[in-house]
Amino acid sequence: MDANTATAPTRRNLHRFANPGQFLRLSGAVLPWLSGLSLVLVAIGLAWGLFWSPADWQQGDAVRIMYVHVPAAWLASAGYLSLALCSVCSLVWRHPLADLAAAEIGPVGAGFTALCLATGSIWGRPMWGAWWVWDARLTSVLVLFFLYLGHIALVRAFDEPEAGYRAGSILALVGVINLPIIKFSVDWWNTLHQPASITLSGAPTMYVGMLWPLLICTLGYTFAFVAIVLTRTRAAVMERRIRALLLARAARG
């Protein structure tokens, strides 16, 4: 018996998930739960935020757009981070699933970034009196949006998909520099955009009745992001299989 096949089922490391068949089975089992949970959480969070949470003492009811804006902003950054992690896996281990996932995270992340920019703009109109200001936070998120778009365009610009994945992962890693700039832009520059209200160290500077719906929405958005990326990656795996089958049939004549 081959040593490779003997050790394969007992190996307890990440490479277990590199097997596309394993991935399809696992993601197929998780996906309905993930999507259902995300729908429920977003519904609860948005309903709580829109109807039962208090209005802000300064901003009034306009603050309620926060429950759409802040989770989208969080996922715009987290999505790019996951894109960069997939790129590391693809460059270091030549992980085929990481390639597919990176290519599929791009459009989803760009979508969330666009949602963040659009809702931010709608929020900015009543609060700052302008649809757009060239403030450090807004500018760095706009750059993030362009980085996503560049990645999407680059990955799909090669005749050989492999070459596109390699180029895309290097670009994604170069673009990671933008993430700390986004995070600290509100501290480094004197900006119009408010600094973070929720930090890992220290109590949130926000009323609990607003914090809960925000956290629920963020969790729901995160599940939705993962569910969409999983669905797209599954579709990409299947597309690849279908292409291989068609090629095999064509080769047989």
Partner 1 sequence: MKLFTALLARDLRLAIRHGSDSLAALLFFVLTAALFPLAIGPAPETLGRLAPGIVWVCAFLAALLPIDRLFGADFEDGSLDQLLLSGLPPAAIALAKAVSHWLVTGLPLLLVSAPLASMLRMPSTGLLALLLGLLPGTMVLSLLGMTGAAIVLGARRGAILLPILILPLATPVLIFGAAAPEAAMSGLSVRPHLLLELALLLASLSLSPLAAGAALRHAAD
Residues that bind partner 1 (CB under 8 A): 91, 139, 143, 146-147, 149-150, 153-154, 157-160, 163-164, 166-167, 170-171, 173-175, 177-178, 181
Percentage helix, strand, coil for the chain under 3-state DSSP, each rounded to 5 = 80, 0, 20
Closer CB to partner 1, 77 or 218, in the complex: 77
Among residues 80, 30, 55, the alpha carbon closest in space to that of 234 is found at 30
Minimum Å gap between C-beta 181 and partner 1 is 8
Q: Rounded to the nearest 5°, which phi and psi values hold at 159?
A: -70, -35
Reduced to 3 states (helix: H, G, I; strand: E, B; else coil), residue 3 is helix
Minimum Å gap between C-beta 109 and partner 1 is 14
Closer CB to partner 1, 158 or 212, in the complex: 158
Closer CB to partner 1, 46 or 141, in the complex: 141
Closer CB to partner 1, 120 or 175, in the complex: 175
Closer CB to partner 1, 175 or 213, in the complex: 175
Minimum Å gap between C-beta 150 and partner 1 is 4
Minimum Å gap between C-beta 168 and partner 1 is 9
Minimum Å gap between C-beta 247 and partner 1 is 22
Q: How far is CA 194 from CA 99, 112, 181, 223, in A?
A: 36, 20, 15, 26
